[in-house]
Structure 1
Amino acid sequence: MEEINRQYLQNSSGLDFQVEPVLVNPEASRTAQGLMKYLCSIYGRYMLTGQQIGVLSTPELDMIHEATGKYPAVAGFDFMNYSPSRVERGAECRDTDLAIEWWKRGGIVTFCWHWNAPKDLVDLPPDRSWGRGFYTEATTFDVAKAMSDPDSEDYRLILRDIDAIAAQLALLQEAGVPVLWRPLHEASGGWFWWGAKGPEPCIALWKLMYERLTRHHGLNHLIWVWNGQHAGWYPGDEYVDILGEDIYPPKHDYSSQKERFLSAASYSKRNKIIALTENGVVPDPDRMAKDCTPWAWNCTWYGEFVFREEDGRRVYSGEYTELEQLRKTYHHPWTITLDGLPDWEVWIGS
């Protein structure tokens, strides 16, 4: 199978995988537009391989290369330790620099933000420590209260935190790095504080972040990726470029996750690219083709999903995705790895 036929996918799934490369930000940068153009050109025909790196230890990309002989096309990073309530407690982060380096190597960059609550951290180790301050159980910060009063201290702290991340995003923009930007993820689950009070304050927070980053800070290199995982939490097509789902199936379950793909497709009234923005097990490309489930990219989570400690060294762990299955995916004719990406200077300039 050299290439999945896009017309076959359309006819058998009822979905249209032709997506116009138009971003919701009318001032989107040339690099963001170029990356979106590329994503639209391959959508429905190829899946980009992807991998999230760890927060403090980052062996995942090299582990994938050691296991498969290939690097992923997409690398995932996290602004978590740039959160002001973590910085003031001594947290450090290099993800901005690492992301710039990855783009210079020719890779695609995606960022999430495990946003430590601006204040009111419970700080009762181990489960409710400040280091887990993005979880609902580890903070009493009330997002509904904050969003209801723009004159309040809590609202000002939300702006402070967004501005802190804007400073990091600005460095990426200055370096010419387009970013698949995935904030406020998994909100409908309620386990993160931004989703703890229901959809209304979370949607308001998404729109505030969009306006603050694009209008106030002039950050035009962002492609807005939403994965709130429930239709009732969707902020609207005018605020979202790409839809994502985070899926952690049972170990060695290589199914296409077609039901979740179709669920994501139903959130929008327009054709949107749909990505597997987090995964534990890597889905089988052949099953994806059979089920007409062309995730635009996958992004395997870090740590135990990739490696284990053995005799004082790190080795690939097949606990979630067996080694032969991973190799199959990274060498499949329908997947793209780092070496299969275009020359971005040529592509974006085209």
Structure 2
Amino acid sequence: MKHAAARLMVSFMFCTGIGYAQIPLSDTKATKETRALYSNLQKVQGKGVIFGHHDDTAYGIGWALKDSSDVKAVAGIYPALYGWDVAKMEHDSTNDINGVPFETQRKLIQEAYQRGGINTICWHMDNPVNGQNAWDTTQNSVKNILPGGPNNEEYKDYLKHVARYLKTLKGKDGEAIPVLFRPFHELTGGWFWWGAKTTTPQDFIALWQYTIDFLRKKQKLHHLVIVYSTADFNSEQEFLERYPGDGYVDVMGFDLYCTKNVDQYTDRLHKQLGILQTVADAHHKLMSIPETGYQGIPDTNWWTNVLLPQLVKFSKLSYIMTWRNATKEHFFAPYPGQVSAADFVRFSKSPNIIFQNRITPLNIYGKAMNE
């Protein structure tokens, strides 16, 4: 009876999420490195929230396309998560939407991977219906690019272009580099052509499923961890209204930015994290904040007084990512001399936050990195 009870307890631990590697990837053919990443992201839960920065090693304040990082220049360490954008790849452009050559982006992704870091990719995709940018809000664009629609071939061409690029992301042994892939982000907002004001929930769900199926089944991409990322929402129902199903999602999250009303940000962040945690638990998915930050960071203690307390309260968060450092008017991570730099250093040393120095030793891809 004692041994039977012990076996029952072990089984119970894994079924209820106390154990490790209990959540399988939605892609049953995922590569071993991708499976290892997803498994180890689960092991990290409760030990700290992984910190990321978009385009971190591509450019920053006063520099571009050289071996640098504003995060490292301030904190002495790289972020653990690196964000990228494949927008304009759909047109075979040599540069991404922010002017970074894709050849350079590929190199930086490989370097981040070799350090043991994590790469995440979004796609501010131009509208396949009319060639306008992602912020075009032509009605029913989604319906028009679905199978049977007049612009389905154009959309398939977009997907083929990006798939070809994703296939080139290789480690030093030729293995596919795992990517947290975040399509159609901020989907509950109304500012993108795929957003809530331009398409029905049914058509959006059909687009998401079609896209992931095309990449997996037609393009044979099995190194993608799929991230479902909304904008604002006020209830579980609103968050899930356009949810494409558990077979098409691995990580749930939302994008939320701080404005001059810091109290409003704190309240909204707390409310949405509470809803997200309930939904993620129910659907057995990881939770994240794929985009956040405070443009210009005028609050000298924003990192430890505003952001950190919420991350401590919701320790099951897998990761957060601040947006890019483009100019002195548009930046979301401190640079040397910026007013929040000292507080960012304190933030980086918190046991509740994971930067590159803490994630490399975890061997999250199932093998030693940084060689």
Q: Which moved more, 1:336-345 or 1:325-334?
A: 336-345
Q: Quote the residue 1:82 is aligned against.
A: 89
Q: Give the TM-score normalised by structure 2.
A: 0.75
Structure 2 partner of 1:26: 28
| Cα shift at 1:79 | 0.4
Residues 242-321 of structure 1 mapped to structure 2, 5 A cutoff: 242-251=251-260, 253=262, 255=266, 257-268=269-280, 269-281=282-294, 284-289=307-312, 291-303=313-325, 308=328, 315-316=335-336, 318=338
1-structure distance, mates of 2:126, 2:221: 22
Aligned residue number for residue 327 of structure 1: 345
- The structural deviation recorded for 1:16 is 6.3
> Aligned runs of 1:111-260 on 2, under 5 Å?
111-121=121-131, 130=132, 133-137=133-137, 142-147=141-146, 150-172=147-169, 174-195=174-195, 196-229=198-231, 230-251=239-260, 253=262, 255=266, 257-260=269-272
Deviation by residue 1:266-292 (Cα, 9 ceiling, x = unmatched): 445322211110011455334432x33
In the TM superposition, residue 216 of structure 1 has moved relative to its aligned partner by 1.2
Aligned length: 314
Structure 2 unaligned blocks of 5 or more = 1-15, 232-238, 295-302
1:47-86 to 2 correspondence within 5 Å? 47-53=49-55, 57=59, 62-84=69-91
Alpha-carbon RMSD: 3.2
Q: Distance in 1 between matches of 2:277 and 2:288?
A: 10
Distance 2:367 2:224 in 1: 18
- Shift of residue 316, structure 1, vs aligned partner: 4.5
| Change beyond 3 A, Cα 1:346–1:198 | closer
| Cα distance change on mapping 1:346 and 1:156 into 2, 3 Å | closer
Q: Distance in 2 between matches of 1:85 and 1:117?
A: 15
- Against the structure 1 CA distance between its residues 187 and 292, is the aligned structure 2 distance closer, same or farther, given a 3 Å change threshold? closer
Q: CA deviation at 1:227?
A: 0.8
Question: 1:235 offset after TM fit, Å?
Answer: 0.7
- CA pair 286-80 structure 1, distance change in 2 beyond 3 A: same
- 2-structure distance, mates of 1:27, 1:182: 19
Alignment partner, residue 337 of structure 1: 355
Q: 8 Å contact 2:270–2:310 — kept in the other structure? A: no
Preserved contact between residue 54 and residue 324 of structure 2 (Cα < 8 Å): yes
Per the normalisation by structure 1, the TM-score is 0.79
Is residue 139–residue 199 contact of structure 2 (8 Å, CA) maintained in 1?
no
Shift of residue 57, structure 1, vs aligned partner = 4.0
Aligned to 2:119: 109
CA offsets per residue over residues 52-82 of structure 1, 9 Å max, x none? 0179845596111111111100000110121
Cα distance between partner residues in 1 of 2:249 and 2:266: 27
Moved more, 252-261 or 110-119: 252-261
Amino acid at match of 2:270: K
Shifted more, 107-116 versus 227-236: the winner is 227-236
Q: Which letter maps to 1:43?
A: Q
Instruction: Could you tell me which runs of 5 or more consecutive residues in structure 1 were left unpaired when the two chains were aligned.
Output: 1-14, 122-129
SS in 2 for 1:49: strand
- String of CA shifts for 1:278-330, please: whole Å, max 9, x gaps: 011455334432x33542111100126xx628xxxx945757xx223311221
Q: Is the 8 A contact 2:116 2:359 kept in 1?
A: yes
Are the equivalent residues in 1 in contact too, given 2:144–2:150 (CA < 8 A)?
no
Q: Distance in 1 between matches of 2:365 and 2:95?
A: 41
